[in-house]
Structure 1
Amino acid sequence: MTTTSVRARFLGDGRIDFERATLGPVANGQVRVRVDVCALCGSDKRLLRSGSPVVPGHEIAGTVVDVGADVTVPVGTRGIVYIPVFCGTCRRCAAGRTNQCLHLRELIGWQRDGGFAEHVDVPARCLLPVPDDVPLDTAVLGLDTVGTAAHALRLWQRTQPDGVDRALVIGAGPLGLGVVAVAGAFGVGEVDAFDPHEGRLATAVDLGARAAGDLAAENQYDLVVEVSGAAAARETAQRVVAPGGAVIALGESDEPYTMPATPRWRRTDCYTVRSFYFPTSEVEANWDLLRDHGAALRDRLTVPVTLAELPDAFARFVAGDYFKPCIVSEDAP
């Protein structure tokens, strides 16, 4: 069947327009999702500046309203949308490491239409069904906020399987706060947090972190999670990590990630861990994390807005007034 859907278009220089499009029949192997929730992400700010040939929005939760041929997903299924369009057949996918797909070419919301719209068509394999006891406005945090945070900490556990007494999180945006919330489940004792924004730092403390003290001295932490992408934050992480420790580099930036050519850094024996998203093999474990921590994160981070309010929501998001605005459909349950 055809569907009429309103979609946002990012024109560049902060301009957002809307179009009403007619979507044809759903293609083979795909499902049509009514977008019930789509969260804004800091990385979307790049598309706001540059413009995008596709509809942005990559933190999507919704309900299947139509399916194409060769699809077994029932209409009415609630799900979150897995961003990487993985092939499902390469050796990485066969091992459950779908975030490492050897044939990955597209990310939903980046190279193909995403969720700043009333509907989005996605491959059926990219729809992750949501358990009945997890609300969609919490489930959407299982993508970037908790899913990416938990995967990074699972990678870090391989370097220090016995855990650490104390860790530092630099950058208390949504992803950093996701790390703060779930770190204890991965063997981290106490978590210190740093953010120059007083409101963000206060939220990290509210979630159980301590405000970091003086970060000028070297060798303070066995685990440092850098989530801002700022050059100063990266320099701080490389300074305060102790020999034998690990830096998790989660922050994204248009600037290259560099390691200082200083005697101290050259003589620091440590791990640098870079993570991209999470594999589908971790989804079930992530639901348990959301059951424990999702409501607290949702209530502190998210602000519901309508699709029509997207331009104002982005302006307030860029200004730092909002942590994580979420486009919520009027038809959402």
Structure 2
Amino acid sequence: MRARFRGHGEIEFEKAPLGDIADGDVRLRVDVCALCGSDKRLLHSGSPVVPGHEIGGTVVGGALPEGTRGIVYIPVFCGACVRCVAGRTNQCLHLSELIGWQRDGGFAEHVDVPARCVLPVPDDIPLSVAVLGLDTVGTAAHALRLALRTQDTVDRALVVGAGPLGLGVVAVAQAMGVAVDAFDPNPARLATATALGARPAGDLSAENQYDMVVEVSGADAARETAQRVVRPGGTVVALGESNEPYTMPATPRWRRTDCYTVRSFYFPVDEVDANWDLLRGVGAALRDLIVKPLTLPELPEAFARFVAGDHVKPCIVSTDAHLTEVTR
């Protein structure tokens, strides 16, 4: 069974036979596939492929040993260009496909992906934690690593937007030794950020408050806030996605100051081992605070509750009885 997004919020399920596995591919039984805020765009627009890009599963055939547990690296990188050879696979010069966007993803019982896109999970990390190593922790960690290169010290950072990725930033920043304030207009999400150790932000109307601001919502108001409260010489990390252009203010203050703007897409494979270490420290607590397990037939409900803000991070999990590590 697999889900198809028909547009305007309509999700249909269909049965499809499993064909042959292409050379170099791996077939995974999808044990967990997390919902992402970006999936809402496909829910609205529809998709020619099966969505779902935060995938954890078990190899059942193809180019890797059966039984291998893995999470799926979204960019289908070439593995041969100068960026890939250097380990910077998120910067692949020939990137044309993302799993769940241009080829079938994980809102299904099985998915076929290139073997090079399967990241084997260490034995001591359950899949329910490992899947957070993709967008939630992996993307957050890479962005923070880039941003910290721009600053000698960071007294305190501000995270604007406490959705799943913003909460990942909160958890990872503290693991990296950076104190964090958080802002979100949703009181429940802000409370989750404070439960992870963030301090609620105070009045954000004044300028020059933070050495680093991580903007995670993509909203125009959030971008304006980030550019207002960052100190001269500070760093704005633009992680939020939006269909609107990213603009900088045409104000005297902005024209007369130094400022770094960091845009990050995804993490490279040469950071995977460091991300496992982060997950060992923060992953279980993050999972227990934000993840809501649901099954594939409950996907429409999962999206409805996700859009409404009732669930922070719904995850579609297999109904196989032995997958206790996924459902906890």
TM-score by length of 2: 0.97
Alignment map for 1:105-254 (pairs within 5 Å): 105-160=96-151, 162-188=152-178, 190-254=179-243
Residue by residue, what CA displacement relative to the aligned partner does 1:160-214 show, whole Å, maximum 9, x if unpaired?
Answer: 1x331111000000100111001023341x2100000000000000000000000
CA shift for structure 1 position 157: 1.7
| Alignment equivalent of 2:312, drawn from 323, 327, 333 | 323
Residue by residue, what CA displacement relative to the aligned partner does 1:63-94 show, whole Å, maximum 9, x if unpaired?
Answer: 00011xxx3x2111000000000000000000
Poorly superposed stretches of 4+, deviation over 6 Å: none
Tell whether the 8 Å contact from 1:166 to 1:192 is kept in structure 2 after alignment. Answer: yes
| CA distance in structure 2 between the aligned counterparts of 1:295 and 1:131, rounded to whole angstroms | 14
Tell whether the 8 Å contact from 2:296 to 2:318 is kept in structure 1 after alignment. Answer: yes
The reply on whether 1:65 has 2:60 as its aligned counterpart is yes
Tell me, which stretches of 5 or more residues in structure 1 are unaligned? 1-5
The reply on whether 1:279 has 2:268 as its aligned counterpart is yes
Alignment map for 1:298-309 (pairs within 5 Å): 298-309=287-298
Tell me, which stretches of 5 or more residues in structure 2 are unaligned? none
| Alignment equivalent of 2:25, drawn from 17, 25, 30 | 30
| CA distance in structure 1 between the aligned counterparts of 2:257 and 2:28, rounded to whole angstroms | 49
| CA distance in structure 1 between the aligned counterparts of 2:103 and 2:20, rounded to whole angstroms | 17
Mean CA deviation greater in 129-138 or 260-269: 260-269
| CA distance in structure 2 between the aligned counterparts of 1:156 and 1:185, rounded to whole angstroms | 15
| Alignment equivalent of 2:13, drawn from 8, 18, 22 | 18
| CA distance in structure 2 between the aligned counterparts of 1:94 and 1:184, rounded to whole angstroms | 31
What residue identity is the alignment partner of 1:329? S
Other-structure match for 1:76: 67
User: What is the identity percentage for the equivalent residue pairs of Structure 1 and Structure 2?
Assistant: 80
**Residue aligned with 2:84, SS:** helix
The reply on whether 1:54 has 2:43 as its aligned counterpart is no
Other-structure match for 2:254: 265
Residue by residue, what CA displacement relative to the aligned partner does 1:123-152 show, whole Å, maximum 9, x if unpaired?
Answer: 000000000000001000000000000000
What residue identity is the alignment partner of 1:65? V
Other-structure match for 1:256: 245
| CA distance in structure 2 between the aligned counterparts of 1:298 and 1:184, rounded to whole angstroms | 16
Other-structure match for 1:96: 87
What residue identity is the alignment partner of 2:146? L
| CA distance in structure 2 between the aligned counterparts of 1:227 and 1:165, rounded to whole angstroms | 20
CA shift for structure 1 position 115: 0.2
Tell whether the 8 Å contact from 1:164 to 1:187 is kept in structure 2 after alignment. Answer: no
Other-structure match for 2:37: 42
What residue identity is the alignment partner of 1:197? N
Tell whether the 8 Å contact from 2:175 to 2:282 is kept in structure 1 after alignment. Answer: no
**Residue aligned with 1:11, SS:** strand
| CA distance in structure 1 between the aligned counterparts of 2:260 and 2:159, rounded to whole angstroms | 16
| CA distance in structure 2 between the aligned counterparts of 1:48 and 1:242, rounded to whole angstroms | 38
**Residue aligned with 1:23, SS:** coil
The reply on whether 1:87 has 2:72 as its aligned counterpart is no
What residue identity is the alignment partner of 2:191? A
| CA distance in structure 2 between the aligned counterparts of 1:167 and 1:157, rounded to whole angstroms | 11
Residue by residue, what CA displacement relative to the aligned partner does 1:254-274 show, whole Å, maximum 9, x if unpaired?
Answer: 111111111111112110000
Tell whether the 8 Å contact from 2:28 to 2:110 is kept in structure 1 after alignment. Answer: yes
| CA distance in structure 2 between the aligned counterparts of 1:13 and 1:286, rounded to whole angstroms | 36
What is the root-mean-square deviation in Å for CA atoms of aligned residues? 0.7
Tell whether the 8 Å contact from 2:230 to 2:236 is kept in structure 1 after alignment. Answer: yes
| CA distance in structure 1 between the aligned counterparts of 2:170 and 2:177, rounded to whole angstroms | 12
**Residue aligned with 2:245, SS:** coil
